[in-house]
Amino acid sequence: MVNLKIDGFDITVPKNTTILEAAKKLNIDIPTLCFMKGINEPGSCRVCVVEVEGWRGLHPACATKVFEGIVVKTASSAVREARKNILELIMANHNRECLSCPRNLKCELQTLCNDNGIDTIPYEGKVDKGCLDTSGPIVRDPNKCVLCGRCVSVCSKIQDVSAIDFAFRGANMTVTTAYEEGLASQECINCGQCIKICPVGALQERDDTEKVWKALENPDLHVVVQTAPAVRVALGEEFGFAPGTNVEGKMVAALRRLGFDKVFDTNFSADLTIIEEGNELINRIQNGGKLPLITSCSPGWIKYCEHNYHDFIENLSSCKSPQQMFGAIAKSYYPTKADVDPRKVFVVSVMPCTAKKYEADREEMSVDGLKDIDAVITTRELAKMIRQAGIKFEELEDSKQDSILGTYSGAGTIFGNTGGVMEAALRTVADKLTGKSLDCIEYTAVRGLDGIKEATVNVAGMEIKVAVANGTGNASKLLDKIRAGEANYHFIEVMGCEGGCINGGGQPIIKDKSTTDDVKAARIKGLYNIDVSCEKRKSHENPKIQKLYAEYLGEAGGHKAHKLLHTHYTA
């Protein structure tokens, strides 16, 4: 252990602790724009400089290790002056259209400038570093980039994609793509993890709210909305609720106020996915089909697989994702029940995921010329619409989803958590294979934030080997092991983002990035709490799903189900 003094207070910390970490233990928050533990290299922004007694100059707290007897000052006049100067330089090279920036009031740079008394920018900088990239769902503004490198690190080290990197030197340095092409033409998987980690507004999702407003104003359209499982435990953060708070009732009420003709739920079609995917798994196991079966509901993962693991394309489940299944049913079965023209049904999705915008626009995602999904907005965009409409979200009375696409089981709900799709599938597959209604339904081995989770489940005398890859970075590790013949499974769940959809690129921005893991854990708990409170916790027990098969689809995996609910991917 090492003893030191920070701002006059004694503290003892383990060897190799940085000054930044030691100060945190004393509740001293040294600001930094670049450093993210385990993700980004320390020391590029220099905002965290501190004074060390006896040393010349100032030193970055994120990159300087403590040693016995060190005396540190984190807010001396030399530090404050240097910090101010560094921020002025960053601001000089930053597009300062703060009022029209989507990150206004949630921008780390803006907060730091306020806190450090920046009122004028004394330097002439460079704010014409490139054009706005609007080629796809991820919008990049190089003129707002502060070169912190967090996006580059998350894209390469966590997501294993490397769609963006630093280019050029000196004043021309920028973060860009290969050949400076639009992100849409790159290997980018649209996961939006770079958006969430960006301290400023240099990365954003494409804003599709106007498209939704226009549809809502069009009297010829019948506009229905679905909300993904993970939205309900995060939307509240935009309105002051603690992470993980279930605001489903208020969310439904807000959607009604916005004018949607029907408010439905993606949890319903998550249940539907389980029926189809469970059936596919049993078929492949019993009839010698391609194994392992790998889930296909995360569009970021699908694109990653197409780019990097085409030898596993045939392993992907042919099931469309719940988002897409919902749209296909909303434009086929639902119109027969609601007596509306399917061509007039306009389907809006509220998703925690930026890649869902890309998925909805994929060529494969339509039936008989009708696109499954017409518009996708993120959790953040929904919050924006609620604010635009002047709705006092906090004070709304809870409301319930509409019939017939709004009823769901606990299994459909936990889809939003890493391991949730696997657990939901096992609940159904185990019942189907044993012919019983099993009581033991919590598959805790596949829960939690570990990168790769494995389990062997004993069902009806059969050992089913399963694995869960939490994020594409972990998927690559798992698939490499399978390629090398070092591992083998019957069924694998892959979600594109670490933690699953609860941590999707469209979820509310976590301003204090050091709390990210706590926020993820709270959202995960929120979904498991809903699961426990559900009357039905298995997808095949959802009465509205049973009715859908009885009245319309016929058999799971049958002709109609295939036409509407399945697809195929090509490398």
Q: How far is the CB of 148 from ligand SF4 (least distance, A)?
A: 14
The answer to whether 360 and 351 are in contact (CB under 8 A) is no
C-alpha to C-alpha distance for 234 and 267, rounded to whole angstroms:
16
- What residues make contact with ligand SF4 under the rule CB under 6 A? 138, 154-155, 159, 161, 163-164, 188-194
Residue nearest to ligand HC1 (CB): 501
CA distance 468 to 281: 15
Element (H, E) at 452: strand 452-459
**Choices 44-52, 187-195, 497-505, 518-526; region in contact with ligand HC1 by CB under 6 A:** 497-505
Instruction: Using the minimum distance from each CB to ligand HC1, give the nearer residue, 199 or 352.
Output: 352
Half-sphere exposure of 214 (CA within 13 A, CB side): 6
The residue (of 39 and 221) whose beta carbon lies closer to ligand SF4 is: 39
Task: Reduce the DSSP state of residue 168 to 3 states and report it.
Answer: coil
Q: Which does 189 bind (CB under 5 to 8 A by kind): ligand HC1, ligand SF4, none?
A: ligand SF4
The overall longest dimension of the chain from CA atoms, in Å, is: 80
Q: Does 352 bind ligand HC1 (CB under 6 A)?
A: yes
Minimum distance from residue 457 beta carbon to ligand HC1 (Å): 21
Least distance in angstroms from the C-beta of 190 to ligand SF4 = 5
Q: State which residue, 23 or 382, has the beta carbon closest to ligand HC1.
A: 382
Residue 419 sits in the site that holds ligand HC1 (CB under 6 A):
no
Closer to ligand HC1 by CB, 143 or 474: give it: 474
Q: 179, 479 in Cβ contact below 8 A?
A: no
DSSP 42: S
What is the nearest approach in angstroms of ligand HC1 to the Cβ of residue 567?
A: 13
> Which residues are part of the catalytic machinery?
277, 280, 297, 317, 356, 359, 364, 501
How many residues in total does the chain contain? Answer: 571
Residue closer to ligand HC1 (CB basis): 149 or 416: 416
Among 50, 224, 353, 478, binds ligand HC1 (CB under 6 A): 353
CB 148 within 8 A of CB 44: yes
Query: x/- site string to ligand HC1, residues 206 to 225, per CB under 6 A?
Result: --------------------
| Binding at 253: pick from ligand HC1, ligand SF4, none (beta carbon under 5-8 Å per type) | none
Backbone φ and ψ for 137, nearest 5 degrees, come out as -70, -15
229 binds, among ligand SF4, ligand HC1, none (CB under 5 to 8 A by kind): ligand HC1
206-212 contact pairs (CB < 8 A, 24+): 206/134, 206/136, 206/137, 206/138, 206/139, 206/357, 207/102, 207/381, 208/357, 208/375, 208/376, 208/377, 208/381, 209/377, 209/381, 209/384, 209/385, 209/388, 211/374, 211/375, 212/348, 212/375, 212/377, 212/385
The site partner of 266 among ligand SF4, ligand HC1, none (C-beta below 5 to 8 Å per kind) is: ligand HC1
Instruction: Enumerate residues 6+ apart whose C-beta is below 8 A from 200.
Output: 94, 101, 103, 107, 108, 109, 110, 144, 145, 146
User: According to CB under 6 A, which one of 471, 504, 505, 557 is a site residue for ligand HC1?
Assistant: 504
Q: Which does 190 bind (CB under 5 to 8 A by kind): ligand SF4, ligand HC1, none?
A: ligand SF4
Reduced 3-state DSSP string for 241-257: CCCCCCCHHHHHHHHHH
By CB under 6 A, residue 292 contacts ligand HC1:
no
Cβ closer to ligand HC1: 32 or 315? 315
Q: How far is the CB of 417 from ligand HC1 (least distance, A)?
A: 8
Residue 472 found at the interface with ligand HC1 (CB under 6 A) = no
Stretch that binds ligand HC1, among 102-110, 143-151, 499-507, 555-563 (CB under 6 A): 499-507
Q: Which of 103, 356, 371, 540 binds ligand HC1 (CB under 6 A)?
A: 356
Rounded to whole angstroms, how far apart are CA atoms 353 and 371? 19
CB nearer ligand SF4, residue 141 or residue 277: 141
Q: Which two tokens stand for residue 375?
A: 């518009």
Smallest gap from residue 227 Cβ to ligand HC1 (A): 8
Answer whether 451's CB lies under 8 Å from 304's CB. no
Neighbouring C-beta atoms of residue 73, cutoff 10 Å: 17
Annotate 284-338 with DSSP letters as a single string.
HHHTT--SSEE----HHHHHHHHHH-GGGGGGB--BPPHHHHHHHHHTTHHHHHH
Does the footprint of ligand HC1 cover residue 321 (CB under 6 A)?
A: yes
If binding is defined by CB under 6 A, does position 537 make contact with ligand HC1? Answer: no
Q: Which residue's structure tokens are 């095949």? A: 540
Regarding 230 and contact with ligand HC1 (CB under 6 A), the answer is yes
Q: Is 351 in the site for ligand HC1 (CB under 6 A)?
A: yes
- The residue among 406 and 504 lying less far from ligand HC1, judged by its C-beta, is 504
Q: In what order do the strands lie in the sheet with 345-351?
A: 262-265, 222-227, 345-351, 375-378
Binding of ligand HC1 at residue 415 (CB under 6 A)?
yes
| H or E segment to which residue 166 belongs | strand 165-167
User: Residue 154 or 293: which CB sits closer to ligand SF4?
Assistant: 154
Would you call 79 helix, strand, or coil by DSSP?
helix
From the list ligand HC1, ligand SF4, none, partner contacted by residue 228 (C-beta under 5 to 8 A by kind): ligand HC1
Site of interaction with ligand HC1 (CB under 6 A):
228-230, 266, 270, 297-298, 321-323, 351-353, 356, 415-416, 500-501, 504
